[in-house]
């Protein structure tokens, strides 16, 4: 039996890959406009990197990581998210010395052992963005404005929900208030009962309806912020207003990773069933130091490419590969040889050209040109060759023009390109 891909691991085949290229191209273009540089980090890291950053009692570290011993026994993990690796690289390469504020992005696969379903895979892909070296609220607003712009330029619409998770100064008081509130409830789900002991804040992220019905009256973190955190959050929302970025404050949003402080946000869609988060992120001011780097603040977010692709596929317009500039239909051995040479020359000069290698009938070759959505077809038949000409056909209008082919192949190419330009 043929070997199949692993469950939750997917190929992206031609026909679908164009959507991915569109997402990646659009995001890259916008991130460059905002001054971000790309960083590429390894997919495999030491397990302790993720344990120390994401947090031992998070779902990711407790149950989702692909962790295995290397041949020499050290514990390795396939990265489940981008931030930890980018921060490790930032510290290891001394990027803080190169520039006080670093704006970085990375695009690539992430791995989590979750139950595969629509919009949830075991290998999925993220566009992951970080700003390191500043905690100005304006940076938070700019980052969210950029995320919103990526969504807008992709032609999608999602809603932005924001919250503040406070800081080590004010969060303990909130944790206590929350714990007091939930300690009297005994029909919470098993996960929440466990979280109550290990990481109470995380209960608010539970997707169980019974649990959620209790949490809707739970204390709000926004009522427990210290003055600094409150000022920060107020400034962030004021700057979002300045940029006319729509958002909704959701004081229940806690995010699934321990490292977040202050601003957190999610990009939410109603069009993907329970996989409603298209992107998410937040500030992580103590994290670089926690990883033994300099004491610099940071903020970032990640967008899930599978979910963006699903949203685009659900729209009516399909994203397809661009059609050919020119198809060369050559009839007979001599014409086929010329076409082969000419096609290479045209491709070298930047044209998107193709030809038939099998000397099929003119009708068949014209069909191929149609299928490839060629703008033009060059017909090289025996008659044409005798007169040293080719017949250039504008596939849209059906108009045909004779093009002289004398001289060497480079000269033909130039004449042909000229003709195509004037006949468009």
Q: Which residues bind ligand ATP (CB under 6 A)?
A: 81, 112, 114, 119-121, 124, 126, 256, 275, 277-280, 302, 304, 306-307
Is the distance from CB of 100 to CB of 133 less than 8 angstroms? yes
* In the complex, least distance from residue 260 CB atom to ligand ATP, rounded to whole angstroms: 10
Which DSSP category does 28 fall into? Answer: H
- Least Å from the CB of residue 248 to ligand ATP: 16
C-beta closer to ligand ATP: residue 66 or 352: 66
The answer to whether 84 and 53 have CB atoms below 8 angstroms apart is yes
Bridge-based pairing of strands 376-380 and 400-404 is: unpaired
Calpha distance 204→216 (Å, rounded)? 9
Give the integer Cα–Cα distance in Å for 294 and 48: 19
In the complex, the smallest distance separating the C-beta of residue 161 from ligand ATP, rounded to whole angstroms, is 12
C-alpha–C-alpha distance, residues 89 and 130, integer Å:
12
H/E stretch holding 19 reads: helix 17-33
User: Judging by beta carbons within 10 Å of its beta carbon (0-12, 13-18, 19+), is residue 282 exposed, middle or buried?
Assistant: buried
Catalogue the long-range contacts made by 392-395 (C-beta closer than 8 Å, 24 or more residues apart): 392/416, 392/419, 392/420, 392/423, 394/423, 394/424, 395/369, 395/370
Q: Which is nearer to ligand ATP, 160 or 302 (CB)?
A: 302
To the nearest whole angstrom, how small is the minimum distance from the Cβ of residue 69 to ligand ATP? 24
Name residues whose C-beta falls within 8 Å of residue 248's C-beta, 6 or more positions apart in sequence: 159, 160, 161, 162
Min dist CB 15 to ligand ATP, Å, is: 20
**Closest CB to ligand ATP among residues 87, 330:** 87
Closer to ligand ATP by Cβ: residue 285 or 384: 285
DSSP code of residue 62: I
By beta-carbon proximity to ligand ATP, the closer residue of 268 and 392 is: 268
Residue 389 β-bridge partners? 404
Please, which residue, 272 or 416, has the CB nearer to ligand ATP?
A: 272
Nearer to ligand ATP, 198 or 274 (CB): 274
Q: Least Å distance between CB 236 and ligand ATP?
A: 19
Give the span between the Cα atoms of 88 and 325, in whole angstroms. 46
Report the alpha-carbon distance of residue 293 to residue 96 in Å, rounded.
9
Nearer to ligand ATP, 258 or 356 (CB): 258
Q: Which of residues 301 and 376 has its CB atom nearest to ligand ATP in the complex?
A: 301
Q: Which residue is at the shortest CB distance from ligand ATP?
A: 304
Report the nearest approach of ligand ATP to the CB of residue 73 (Å).
29
Question: What length is written for the chain?
Answer: 424
Taking the least distance from each CB to ligand ATP, the nearer of 158 and 319 is 158
Torsion, Cα 379 385 386 392, to 10 degrees, reads 40
Task: In angstroms, give the least distance from the CB of 359 to ligand ATP.
Answer: 48
How far apart are the C-alpha atoms of 219 and 224, rounded to whole Å? 9
48 vs 41: CA distance, rounded Å: 16
What's the Cα-to-Cα distance from 356 to each of 153, 328, 350, 359, 377, rounded to whole Å? 38, 7, 19, 7, 12
Quote the least distance from Cβ 330 to ligand ATP, whole Å: 47
Closest distance between ligand ATP and the C-beta of residue 172, in Å? Answer: 24
């Amino acid at each position: 039996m043929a070997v199949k891909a692993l469950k939750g691991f997917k190929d992206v085949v031609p026909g679908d890959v164009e959507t991915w290229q569109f997402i990646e191209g659009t995001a890259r273009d916008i991130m460059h406009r905002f001054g971000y540089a790309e960083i590429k980090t390894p997919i495999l890291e030491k397990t302790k990197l993720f344990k120390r950053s994401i947090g031992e009692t998070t779902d990711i570290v407790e149950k989702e990581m692909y962790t295995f011993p290397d041949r020499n026994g050290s514990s390795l993990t396939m990265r489940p998210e981008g931030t930890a690796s980018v921060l490790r690289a930032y510290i290891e390469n001394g990027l803080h010395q190169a520039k006080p504020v670093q704006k970085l992005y990375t695009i690539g696969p992430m791995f989590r052992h979750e139950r595969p379903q629509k919009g949830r895979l075991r290998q999925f892909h993220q566009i992951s963005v970080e700003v390191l070296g500043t905690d100005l609220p304006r940076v938070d607003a700019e980052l969210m404005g950029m995320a919103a712009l990526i969504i807008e330029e992709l032609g999608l619409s999602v809603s932005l929900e924001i919250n503040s998770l406070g800081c080590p100064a004010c969060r303990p008081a909130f944790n206590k208030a929350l714990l007091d509130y939930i300690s009297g409830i005994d029909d919470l789900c098993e996960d929440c009962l466990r979280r109550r002991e290990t990481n109470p804040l995380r209960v608010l992220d539970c997707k169980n309806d019974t649990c959620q019905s209790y949490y809707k009256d739970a204390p709000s973190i926004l009522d427990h912020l210290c003055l600094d955190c409150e000022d920060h959050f107020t400034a962030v929302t004021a700057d979002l207003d300045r940029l006319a970025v729509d958002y909704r404050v959701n004081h229940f949003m806690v995010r699934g990773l321990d490292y977040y402080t202050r601003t957190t946000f999610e990009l939410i869609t109603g069009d993907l069933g329970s996989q409603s988060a298209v992107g998410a992120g937040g500030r992580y001011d103590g994290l670089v130091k926690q990883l033994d780097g300099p004491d610099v603040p940071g903020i970032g977010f990640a967008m899930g490419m599978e979910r963006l692709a699903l949203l685009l596929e659900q729209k009516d317009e399909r994203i397809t590969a661009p059609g050919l500039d020119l198809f060369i239909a050559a009839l007979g051995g001599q014409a086929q040889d010329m076409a082969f040479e000419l096609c290479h020359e045209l491709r070298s000069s930047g044209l998107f050209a193709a030809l038939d290698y099998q000397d099929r009938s003119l009708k068949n070759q014209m069909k191929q040109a149609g299928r490839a959505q060629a703008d033009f077809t060059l017909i090289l038949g025996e008659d044409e060759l005798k007169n040293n000409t080719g017949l250039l056909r504008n596939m849209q209008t059906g108009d045909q023009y004779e093009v002289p082919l004398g001289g060497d192949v480079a000269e033909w190419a130039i004449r042909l390109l000229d003709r195509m330009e004037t006949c468009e």
